[in-house]
Structure 1
Amino acid sequence: MQQGNYAGIPGQAMWTRRGTDALQTWIHTPVDGQARGLVLLAPPVGREHIQAYRSNRQLAMLLASEGYCVARACYRGVGDSHALEPDQNVVEAWRQDLLDTAAHARQVCGTEELPVWAIGHRMGATLLAGIAEHFDHVIAWEPVAGSVFVKQWSRLRNATLPDIPVGDRVDLMGLCLGNEQAAQLSSLRDPRKLANLPEHVAIFREKDQPRAKVMYGVESLDTRVHYDILDQLIRMLPRPVLTPVGGDGRGPLRNEFTAPTGVECAEEIVRVEPKDYMGVLTGPVLTDKPGRPIASWTDKPVTFYAPGASEPRDGSALWSETARELAGHGVASLRADRDGAADRAELWADRDPNPYRHANAQAMREQAQWLNNHFNSTVVATVLCSGAWDTLCAAREPEGIPVEGMILLNQNEWRMKQEFFDELRKTYDADARLHAAALTSRQAKEELARPATPRRDAVKDKVAGAASAAQSVLGAVKEKGSYALRHYAPEPVWNLIARHPEASIADYILDRASRNARVVLLVGPQDEPRYRETLTPRAVARLTGRGRDIREEYLPNVDHSILSRTARDVVVTRVVELLSQWEGRSPANG
């Protein structure tokens, strides 16, 4: 193996299996061509897959730096892997995915004669417990019973999205199962309660469960990597001597499949210049060209995606699903991570970066330019929430963004000042909330322990009452002033205000974005109040009256982050309709 030719600590993606059963696997290897063996990482599923993504990736890089080859698995129906079929037994399918990933990883790493260990996180731990005989050592990290997982996420979905119908299925927020599949998953017992748990399976569960949940069970912007826990996991693994291995940790970069429409398609793991980060290009293949290159059909655009927050490129499998659906209708697309997110995260980074950043605007510009360099076709941005903000920010800057169209999903924040979001970002820290809760509890106990002083308490009450009254008066004045400004300010004054990055006003931003591009605004019910509050419909009416190509649509049953299955069906259908009917500029060449 040549020095520097292997996957390395940051890792390299590859395809395990082919066609519509393909899985995306990430391989991480030591830098010197020697390894102690292979570690399979079985991640959580559903929304927890996204929330724990950074923790599992950082664990993989740390393991590789300690001399282990590492394979990060991705199940069918999760992340960049292909979909799980409705009639498949979910437990059998996911366990087979883990076994196939381990076998393929051993082959490409050249570790067939070395031990293979496994670390499973949450449902990954529970799945591994049933196939533990295939591994030399298994660590079940924060295992959970299937019934508990299904109940927790179905209840959370129903509590947070009560107005969006579920239909005849079990929606677990980013993972949707048929009723029989949900029953299959629910049948898995917590490994801690198994009477015949194999001796080589070790349970690892933190005593401080609220802290443990910060790595998998809070909002993605709240998650925090606890490196002391990752260190404990690494120390639980056997540590044999390093042995030279014969593989480079690199596998197939291309997978071909046939779309339901009958169109021959492919997806390739590509490097996006100029910073050479990983992306996935999906689209129809040109069967009459050597090598069957990926390219959009004549007069079809190419597109790229960006999820909300700082989440991985697949967006809880929303964009991988959309990409494959679009490929069957002749449209090629790219999905890649933004700066510092998912597989662009640096080692020792313990939390996702603020998604509202100028660095992310640059990432959107780079992805658009990459598509322009590789395809002679119209480039359209298909972006959600903060991804829409990043794209609009790029369009607002002098350099602009080389796209001829934008599909903006649930875009309702028009403020372009990064410092505003930097301050707001400080509240997105579950660890800080835990510390604050502990401090508040301690202060409350100290206050209760202090002897009561009537005079002191009376003074405190008067001061608090005066402050509250003043706050109410100021709030009322501010609200009336804001209403008057928004509804009665002359248009030139309003447009001047809109230019300021502090202002959350659509007029100036949409003016810049629509100068050389068609803009489509897709708005769900959760975002409609804020969308109207910022007077975006008025901005759209003004600009379309001047000849700009701006359209707005109000989509039913769409939650803000598009986590419900119903919302995803609506969005995928509408995006496919828009892009398959979009008028491209010329035949696309690979």
Structure 2
Amino acid sequence: MTTSEAAPRPADRADAARDPRSGRPVTVVDTWLGGGEVLATLHVPDGAATTGVVICPPIGYEYTVAYRTLRHLADRLAEQGLAAARYDHPGFGDSTHDVTAESLSRGAAVAAEALRDAGCASIAYVGLGSGALVASLAAASDPAPAALVLWDPAASGRQWLRRQRSIYQIEVGPLAEPAPEDTVEIAGAELPDWLAEQIAALDYDPLVATSLPTLVAVRSGAAGTLPKTLRPVADRLDVVEVPGHENALDVSSIESTIPAASVDVVSAWLAERVGGGAGARVAAPAPVVTARAAFDGAEYEESLRRLGPHSLFAVETRPAGGADDLPIVVLHNGSAEHRIGTTRYQVELARRFAAFGIRSLRVDRRGTGESAPVVADEPNLLFTQEWLDDGADVLDALDLPREKVGVVGMCVGSWVGLVAAPSRVAFVAALAVNDHRVVPQAPQAPHEGVDPVEGAQEPTPALRDRLVAVAKRRLPYPLLLALASRGVVQFAEPNLRRALAAGTDVVVLLSPSDAEIFRAHRGPHAVSRLQRTPGRLTVLEHPAGDHALYSPGIRRRAVDEAFAAAVRAFRIAR
């Protein structure tokens, strides 16, 4: 793989004096490391620093829900005079390299190298959840690690893997599809057999942990226990209880919150044990904005961009040397999930598009991944006007004719595609649609549920659902449609009609659970009524799998149908 530091477009380069996301006096640089194989973000303090901290991410779904927490930690470290590096494991997230035997060690190594190149004299390692196993491995490989933090650590690689496989079976349920040969399906990731075996073999080395300052930050109460291999040396470690992790790693991304008090404990310990000193000013590296690699023999390049008034983070993929006027597909995540776990299908889809002369843009909406400031009690923006505005802002930044733009979205991402600005795109591929609201809801405080309709003084959910069910059975369709168009009830037709009436083609892919909701919202009746609209509607039901696309068959179908929709809309020969 080779990289080039091409001149970035104005929105590409992060502010070199102040973090554009938080306004804090630190420099935050999004960049490629390791010759383009690892996507990383460096947080550099505005002043001297002697120590850099490599933040080793968890694996699979844990990383999905922990992403904003790790960003918050990196900001806190930089505020306290410690440089920090976050990264996606090679072969995971937005990193470009395929999974290899070194995937779990390579990312930490190149992040440490980048911090040393910036001027850090020593390196500490932090790992959260399953990332603690990676941090322990990284510290063991470093000839002179400064410190190690095992933060809410997984018990062991074997126990963690067993639990993740169980969660997968529970989440997908009886409609789970067989895993591809020689792979292991877990919650949020598809692992080659050999990588699963490698993870199962991971554990903590007490000799490493006792040879340097080591913090083991465990959960409060009975849930907080030391990993078994470290119990004999517990008196030689700094063991503390940290609160808040019951709502940080063990819940859905919709419900997840940042354990701010826990972040403070970890950052304060590092500042005390390895901070300070008479270090030189750490130099923020110039961001490498373009990386080049190949997919199925076709070369592509990926550029890091910032878009719109809210500086939304995005990764653009295009054929190597491709022009700015090539057609482009905007890829919207489901929920507030970064491209970790099942959402990584976007990365494969983007590179597949490039092989056929199509650009793509995978975007973090506000409150997701790298977009917008991280705050401890940040609101839940699911199905809000803010996300519709983000969808429109991306199209404004592209400033292309509609026949050259398409949208692929999953779950709430498909809602954004159908509702934000459907008249400005050629097609919308709506994957795993399970919500057909017309009126956006207000931002929700952490732990608040998602109301079907925004409004005050609503009945309790159980009573409301019963009333809506009775109304849908007894009221005539035109009256129900009028109510749905005003956001009183949910029907499939209004959002589909808005896009189709504008001449936008729509492809809908439904899992079995999505199809059940689609029928409850009178989707089949809507399909028959929408046959004569200017846009073409295609509704596809996958016979197995789950809404979250954990199951490999429906995830593969999602990639294939989204690709076919783009090829058809842009009239590209296959």
Match of 1:218 in 2: 251
Which residue of 148, 155, 161 corresponds with 1:150?
161
Q: Does 1:567 align with 2:574?
A: no
Match of 1:250 in 2: 286
> How big is each residue's C-alpha offset from its partner over 1:291-350, in whole Å with a ceiling of 9 and x where there is no partner?
x65663xxxx31111111112256642212221122122211001111222222424233
The Cα of 1:82 is off from its aligned counterpart by 2.6
Q: Does 1:361 align with 2:383?
A: no
Q: Does 1:266 align with 2:288?
A: no
Match of 1:239 in 2: 275
C-alpha distance in structure 2 between counterparts of 1:235 and 1:349, whole Å: 16
The verdict on how the C-alpha distance between 1:102 and 1:472 changes in structure 2, with shifts beyond 3 A counting, is: closer
Q: Does 1:390 align with 2:405?
A: no
The verdict on how the C-alpha distance between 1:544 and 1:350 changes in structure 2, with shifts beyond 3 A counting, is: same
Q: Does 1:499 align with 2:491?
A: no
C-alpha distance in structure 2 between counterparts of 1:328 and 1:318, whole Å: 16
The verdict on how the C-alpha distance between 1:70 and 1:423 changes in structure 2, with shifts beyond 3 A counting, is: closer
Match of 2:184 in 1: 170
C-alpha distance in structure 2 between counterparts of 1:473 and 1:4, whole Å: 54
Pairing 1:62-141 to 2, within 5 Å after superposition: 62-82=76-96, 84-85=98-99, 88-89=100-101, 92-107=102-117, 110-112=118-120, 114-133=121-140, 134=142, 135-141=145-151
C-alpha distance in structure 1 between counterparts of 2:138 and 2:532, whole Å: 64
Which amino acid letter does the alignment assign opposite residue 414 of structure 2?
A: A
The verdict on how the C-alpha distance between 1:139 and 1:472 changes in structure 2, with shifts beyond 3 A counting, is: closer
SS of corresponding position for 1:527: helix
C-alpha distance in structure 1 between counterparts of 2:497 and 2:465, whole Å: 32
Pairing 1:393-542 to 2, within 5 Å after superposition: 393-395=419-421, 402-419=424-441, 422=444, 426-427=448-449, 479-485=469-475, 489=476, 491=478, 493-516=479-502, 517-542=504-529
Which residue of 213, 217, 223 corresponds with 1:204?
217
Contact 2:30–2:40 under 8 Å retained in 1? yes
> How big is each residue's C-alpha offset from its partner over 1:195-239, in whole Å with a ceiling of 9 and x where there is no partner?
663421332212333842322221111111121111111122122
Which amino acid letter does the alignment assign opposite residue 276 of structure 1?
A: S
SS of corresponding position for 1:340: coil
Contact 1:27–1:250 under 8 Å retained in 2? no
C-alpha distance in structure 1 between counterparts of 2:470 and 2:254, whole Å: 34
The Cα of 1:93 is off from its aligned counterpart by 2.6
The Cα of 1:41 is off from its aligned counterpart by 0.4
Larger radius of gyration: 1
Q: CA RMSD in A?
A: 3.0
Which amino acid letter does the alignment assign opposite residue 197 of structure 1?
A: A
Match of 1:439 in 2: none
SS of corresponding position for 1:269: strand
> How big is each residue's C-alpha offset from its partner over 1:2-58, in whole Å with a ceiling of 9 and x where there is no partner?
x94476647221111236xx110011112x343232111001110001111111010
C-alpha distance in structure 1 between counterparts of 2:108 and 2:462, whole Å: 58
Contact 1:379–1:405 under 8 Å retained in 2? yes
The verdict on how the C-alpha distance between 1:494 and 1:344 changes in structure 2, with shifts beyond 3 A counting, is: same
Which residue of 300, 311, 318 corresponds with 1:276?
311
Pairing 1:306-345 to 2, within 5 Å after superposition: 306-312=332-338, 316-345=343-372
Which amino acid letter does the alignment assign opposite residue 576 of structure 1?
A: F
Contact 1:173–1:565 under 8 Å retained in 2? no
The verdict on how the C-alpha distance between 1:401 and 1:547 changes in structure 2, with shifts beyond 3 A counting, is: closer
Structure 1 stretches lacking a partner, 5+ long: 287-291, 429-470, 586-590
Contact 2:329–2:361 under 8 Å retained in 1? yes
Output the TM-score relative to the length of structure 1. Answer: 0.80
C-alpha distance in structure 2 between counterparts of 1:477 and 1:381, whole Å: 35
Match of 1:43 in 2: 57
SS of corresponding position for 1:418: coil
The verdict on how the C-alpha distance between 1:504 and 1:558 changes in structure 2, with shifts beyond 3 A counting, is: same
Output the TM-score relative to the length of structure 2. Answer: 0.82
SS of corresponding position for 2:513: coil
> How big is each residue's C-alpha offset from its partner over 1:112-168, in whole Å with a ceiling of 9 and x where there is no partner?
4x2211111122211222332412111111222111111011111112213222323
The verdict on how the C-alpha distance between 1:352 and 1:328 changes in structure 2, with shifts beyond 3 A counting, is: farther
The verdict on how the C-alpha distance between 1:69 and 1:490 changes in structure 2, with shifts beyond 3 A counting, is: closer
The percentage of aligned residue pairs carrying the same residue is 21
